Chain A
């Protein structure tokens, strides 16, 4: 590859700065000593971090978000894997339509999706339930899991599964012993996408929360009434958590092989 020219370098630097600056501002502001969010920060204090851990609602919504994200990720991986197998290995009428439909949650505005589910779930009496919110998060994460797992399956030679079968494994054993280990990087990448998408979601989720809320909804609720840097502290914690997860995944399976 040709090395980048000065213009390309400048543009890259500009974009990176634009992406990083808001994060750096939030991180810096979280250490404010004043009770206002100001940048550059006045003084240095960890009291907003202490505030995060003192507020039970943050902790509870964090636990709830975690539970929700784990459930949504597992379901999304299972359903997404089956969808991906159907899309990659078989040709059937309406295959393209199914593929587009599975991607549609990316295109439908989340406000619409949240409203629609609220109306639907209230009809069947499932509003204000983990089930309803879980359903929403599976829908939201499915485009990512289907896409990443499809890419992984396309690269997986079916002959490997056939080799397992002809030498004595039944279909399920062949799948579990050969296919799953071979597409592991794809599974990990899909899981990360699904987890982050679920854990992060605010727009659609706010329609379906009740007295138990998810962390993003809780942060928003806090920011509506309070103006102190607590939200900056909690954001900083989330940034650190994300970095830890991504680095761990990178170390264990090598993400560049699946996201290229």
Chain B
């Protein structure tokens, strides 16, 4: 299979900008990707992620530089870029057999018939479609078509594999199965991969690196954990994992932690360093539902914990989603383990919410709402 390129920078984008007439679809996107890594381009529809992918493929005129395998792509036509691509609709050739589809790129590269037959056979085995050579594309299920599309893209031993919303056309069960398959095949071939998705679970599960895009700009680029734990702004915090949001004021700055007051709701302990915030400053904080511990004991005297009323409970299999009303009327969500004693709590019961101080995400209040900008993040210790 493909040996990962020697270059540590398999892909480098430098200030890539795409204009559609007056609209800026992609603006100044710069990032680098090491050989063998999987990058997820994540964002809501219309954020420019697909346009960015298409400009890497050479389908969209752009400014800025794109390097693949250490070589600048500016003067390289799409068909000479040695890129494999899986399209959202798979784009399999309907008038060809599975073998002809998979072997297309090899045929274009002038390989001998015997070489094509053997490499197509190997690749079909890799994607789990042994013996499917002579089938017509329309006889295949959605998942099988996906595998053929993947085989067609990988058989040319591409320097880079591009996937445009690869799993969106599949139903949930198949999607999860193919997610595992994609990762397995990618690890086996070691091919550097960029895929576009609007599904954060998919992005977190598959990616080594995550690029979160919004309105054409790259908001944050980093490892999935880093992006999830330390979002670079309001938009990232809200887009990646539903988060409970609240405005707060800084009440007390200690050496290890800072106390924030949610007006009318109580105090919350966070691990911001004293240098980053001063007493009286107003901030916006986010707490992820799975980071909330719900207890019935009163721990407020320890200077932390928000009193709340249980107003709703939804069973979601893996966990329960609790809807809680804070004293100031705001509703927060909490995800708790299914076997928790809390499942016996009655609606209307009074509880206390606790959070790990290090996992509270805090931003200076300079910019409000789901804005695209990057408010100076106040990172937890």
Chain A residues engaging chain B, CB cutoff 8 angstroms: 157, 159-160, 162-171, 173-174, 178, 181-182, 184
Contact = CB atoms under 8 A, between A and B. Distances in A.
Nearest to A169: B108
Contacts of B59: 162, 166
B78 A166 contact: yes
B94 A169 contact: no
B94 A167 contact: no
Nearest to A166: B85
B302 to A, nearest CB: 59
Contact of A167 (B58, B95, B104): B104
Contact of B93 (A166, A171, A178): A178
A173 B152 CA distance: 17
B109 interface: yes
B93 A170 contact: no
Interface string B47-74: 0000000000111000000000000000
Interface of B: 57-59, 77-81, 83-85, 87-89, 91-95, 104-105, 108-109, 152-153, 156, 162
Residue with the highest number of chain B CB atoms closer than 10 Å, among A157, A160, A182 = A160
Contacts of B58: 166
Contacts of B153: 167
A173 B108 contact: yes
A46 B308 CA distance: 102
A185 to B, nearest CB: 11
Nearest to B149: A163
Given A168-B109, A168-B156, A169-B108, A163 B77 contact: no
B156 A159 contact: no
A184 B94 CA distance: 12
Contacts of A169: 79, 104, 108
A254 B115 CA distance: 36
The 9 closest A-B pairs by CB, nearest first: A168-B108, A167-B105, A163-B91, A159-B91, A181-B95, A166-B85, A159-B87, A168-B105, A165-B78
B108 A160 contact: no
Contacts of B91: 157, 159-160, 162-163
A162 B156 contact: no
A182 B96 CA distance: 10
A159 B162 CA distance: 14
Contacts of A165: 78-79
Contacts of B93: 160, 163-164, 178, 181-182
A244 B152 CA distance: 41
B85 A163 contact: yes
Nearest to A160: B91
B152 to A, nearest CB: 6
B108 A166 contact: no
Contacts of A168: 79-80, 104-105, 108-109, 156
Contacts of B104: 164, 167-169
